[in-house]
Structure 1
Amino acid sequence: MIIIYTFCIVNKESARVNSRFIISVNRNQERIVQFHTICHELGHLFCYHQFYTESKRRKLTIKEREFEAETVAWLVCKRHGIYNPSEEYLASYAPQGEIPICSTDLIMKAVAEIERMMESPIKIKESLWYKEDKGLKEKIRVIERQQKGPDLFA
């Protein structure tokens, strides 16, 4: 199980901010399968199937949510040369060739966000957590006021 936390490093100390999201992976699975699972679950998060506030969560059917999240996982894996069985899984959602309603814009943004996470650490103020979670923003403002130095989280 992966619990997503945000850490703020401040003068050799860290302030842990609990996220509201948990990604669970089977540790008995191969690492490639675990990676695919994480991409799929991040696809749900970045396509707004889960969100910090209920008003921002998109209202989709299970079929539509699963199709978007699996498309995200398939694209990330495909672009990085990782084989996965997503094509068969995605085809099962469109047995007559009719693709469920989905947002190609959000799918591509989710892929880009995951790939950005793979390349380098994301600065706190550039993260979705910071942009959307008022509690995290307030906690960082308090830390910054206490430090009175350069912006540690930019």
Structure 2
Amino acid sequence: MLERGIAKLKWHWHIGSAVKLGLALLMLAGTTLGTTTNAEAGKRWHRNGGAAAAAGIIGFAAGAIAGSAMAGPRYYEPYRGPRYNGPIYYAPPRVRYMAPPPVYYAPPRVHYRAAPGTPEWIAYCARKYRSFNPRTGTYVTYGGKVRRCR
């Protein structure tokens, strides 16, 4: 039965648990040894009084330097590309022939006027001027002037 338990213990034994066990034993030894005191201090209490303070200051400084080195942000130089090493020459642009756009002309305006005295002319002037007189071929403007219908 005992052999079975040892075999089972070997099978479950991992490196991670060995590290955990070692750390636990180290902490236990540190707390146990740190709490023991001498029963009689005597003259030893006042001897090397500055050594403990110096060790504390040195330890604090070393911790501050190590902490700032690990916690400080990293600075990366931005990429600036290759340096300028003189002019860069390009080929001249190609010459292209562009045909002129086609020209369109508006058709000529045809002005048709009816000949005076014809029925078409009388109908045109009667539509255009309310005061048109077909017997004389004239109309009266708003200013009172009499004009001939064209």
- Between structure 1 and structure 2, the one with the greater Rg is 2
* Bigger helix fraction: 1
TM-score by length of 1: 0.19
Query: Which structure has more RCO (C-alpha within 8 Å, separation ≥ 6)?
Result: 1
* Bigger strand fraction: 1
TM-score by length of 2: 0.20
